[in-house]
Structure 1
């Protein structure tokens, strides 16, 4: 499992789209075993989703994210957790232990509504 946290320094960035990097945590049996800091490549949402999928990212943790951007991640099977605050590692660890409070799970992978027109428009952006 891999978790990517939109980061500014060591903390969760205020805005997903403006973060300086992504702290990518590799998890094995519920324990963080590796951390990789990936600078924000500044690519389109569709390309970033593809990159995260290729990296094996299962979940992104953010503070604020546009609904349409979250929608693209959800449709790709990447869980989006929003309204997170604190250090990137602490929120990733809290997510793993199910003690992350005050956050919003933006997609419920079985019942997320699919809008093909929206996906097409966002992929072109």
Structure 2
């Protein structure tokens, strides 16, 4: 029997649920490792993040998202895994796409935890 691994995921930002298209992206590790020699590596700390494409619905929490600097972003993936990003804030320059009414959002934060 097959196992469903793709489909709907849910994103909440400080309790406000976003309508999203496509999927969500969150890092699996909090460090980046680079091999120096076989068996030797260096580590670099990575900033935890969540990337989504959200639909700009009539109840889209625009002000909450653009002014928030200590938000909690919860991303529930279809496979049951949940990623919680705390101390989150928007980065880059989110802009509304008039073609399809979506906005690309990237939240960086202080701590990301897989549950």
TM-score by shorter chain over 0.5: no
Higher helix share: 1
Larger Rg: 2
Q: TM-score, normalised by structure 1?
A: 0.26
